[in-house]
């Protein structure tokens, strides 16, 4: 049975860490089921696999973890995207790197934590390669990763205007959220695996 988290963390079948993960069978099963639902669905609808892996490669590169970055970069190739699009996604992720999280809370006690940061916009040359739909998705994705407090109707409207359905916007948000979980899970397991060997 495929276990992408084990694969990315370099956990050998039957190893102590593999057995430790078996102590949480539901968590393990649902993590893989989430990956399958997002990246190998029975019906992709109007959010294509190429778009899904482009967003995933962008997110993984933003997080800067080598194992997940390389995995999704390879999946973008496997999905049949053009070399030009692959290079553009990687280049945009490099340009869009930030530390975050940034954003502003409504006026009140939490506004002491307000923080300004990069507001990412795809340039004209990259937009030509990506197309308006994917370029808008990367801008929205960057906001979800680095400006979660600033999620607001204008960003959603930009997605709708670029041809994203409400269902696809929800799926994209789920994809970004899942990747944040997966990347951190893999990083932690990889650290534990290194200590065990």
Distance (Å, whole) CA 51 – CA 67: 20
Instruction: List, for residues 117-132, the tens digit of each pLDDT value.
Output: 778 999 999 999 999 9
pLDDT band at 57 (very low <50, low <70, confident <90, very high): very high
Confidence of residue 105 (pLDDT cuts 50, 70, 90): confident
Strand partners, 115: 103
Segment 65-94 mean pLDDT? 96
Taking residues 55-76, what's their average pLDDT? Answer: 95
Architecture of domain 37-102+119-196: Up-down Bundle (1.20)
DSSP 101-148: --B-PPSSGGGGG-B--------HHHHHHHHHHHHHHHHHHHHHHH-G
Residue 154: the pLDDT is 86
Show me where the domains of the chain are located.
Answer: 37-102+119-196
pLDDT over threshold 70, residue 86? yes
**What is the arithmetic mean of pLDDT over 105-118?**
80
C-alpha–C-alpha distance, residues 136 and 159, integer Å = 6
Residue 1: the pLDDT is: 62
């Amino acid at each position: 049975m495929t276990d992408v988290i084990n694969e990315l963390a370099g956990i050998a079948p039957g190893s102590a860490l593999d057995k430790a993960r078996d102590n949480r069978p539901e968590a393990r099963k649902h993590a893989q089921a989430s990956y399958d639902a997002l990246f190998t669905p029975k019906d992709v609808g109007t959010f294509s696999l190429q778009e899904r892996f482009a967003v995933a490669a962008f997110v993984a590169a933003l997080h800067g973890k080598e194992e997940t970055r390389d995995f999704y970069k390879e999946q973008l190739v496997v999905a049949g995207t053009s070399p030009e699009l692959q290079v553009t996604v990687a280049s945009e992720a490099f340009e869009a790197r930030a530390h975050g999280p940034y954003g502003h809370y409504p006026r009140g006690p939490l506004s002491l934590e307000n923080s300004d940061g990069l507001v990412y916009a795809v340039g004209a040359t990259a937009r030509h390669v990506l197309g308006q739909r994917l370029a808008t998705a990367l801008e929205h994705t960057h906001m979800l990763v680095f400006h979660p407090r600033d999620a607001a109707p204008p960003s959603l409207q930009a997605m709708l205007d670029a041809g994203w359905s409400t269902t696809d916007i929800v799926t994209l948000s789920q994809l970004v959220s899942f990747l944040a979980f997966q990347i951190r899970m893999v990083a932690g397991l990889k650290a534990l695996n290194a200590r065990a060997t």
